[in-house]
Amino acid sequence: MRILVTGPNGFIGSALVPRLLSAKRFQVRAAVRNPSVKLPSGCERDLVREIGPDTDWTHAVSGVDVVVHLAGRAHVMRATNQDALDAFRRVNVSGTLNLAAQSARAGVKRFVFLSSAKVFGDSGHYSERDTPVPTDSYGASKYDAEQGLQRVAAQANMEYVIIRPPLVYGPGAKANFKMLIKAIEAGIPLPLAAIGNRRSFVALDNLVDFIVTCISHPAAANEIFLVSDGEDLSTPDLIRRLAAAMSKRPRLLPVPVPVLKTAAAWIGRRGMAQRLTASLYFDTSKTSRLLGWSAPLSVDEGLRRAVAPN
């Protein structure tokens, strides 16, 4: 089975490609923007300069059985203006649907699309049965791409699989996860002990394992999945267990949540406070019920791998 992976040198792609190659039953073709990008031995290379509505994927999708589309414009926390929305739509919507249409014409059998749990916004408890209501440009672009992909696939009789992960952590993770690691390492007091929220996360290796399952599992065809580690954590619990993985003792202070939110608003970090204090968790039982899948790594093992020296 030949697999085309977009974004092969990104955070998720750089873990997925070696996993696919190690399985022996896959031939992997990687679509890269830079010809100097290093790829694992045995991986085919196809140069694609950009992802947009006019990208020519003819050679990349030729002879391919399954496309795993990871590449896209990443979530930018403060991207709220019209220019940001247009940029997200060009890459994440138009770019995805252009690839999907060319894949269908080339005879690709299945299109696996990495969407995001951000289609549900920043707070709440959801399952695949709930209708997404995105609250930012990134989430809106992912949801629009999901809907467009389903239309393209239906017209061409091409299977699709849509995966909505929450925050993905692992070696090389950035943004808030990286900030927490640095704060714990430096022994900085964190005023987060009073937060009683609930958040879903997924370890990089768990997400990769799930993507591999979705590539060929018959029951994954034309389905949407939320995926997580299967254990939800509060923000202080995450910090304590992350610190344990680092053999550190966290310095957590019990500052009331209203005080945290007020202070964050004063310094222009209202969004960060929302992500740290709100609950956002998911019912992922469909993955077990339909695919027989459960996360192979525990949260603690995932955190240990995330902070292990290279």
Residues with catalytic roles: 138
Q: Is 40 helix (H, G, I), strand (E, B) or coil?
A: coil
CA nearest to 297, candidates 15, 8, 46 = 15
**197 contacts: CB under 8 Å, gap ≥ 6:** 234, 235, 277, 278, 279
DSSP state of 33: S
Given a contact cutoff of 8 angstroms between Cβ atoms, the answer to whether 17 and 8 are in contact is yes
Question: Would you say how long the chain is, in residues?
Answer: 310
Q: How far is CA 7 from CA 33, 122, 157, 162, in A?
A: 9, 25, 25, 16
What's the CA gap between 25 and 257, in Å, rounded?
A: 51
Given a contact cutoff of 8 angstroms between Cβ atoms, the answer to whether 96 and 57 are in contact is no
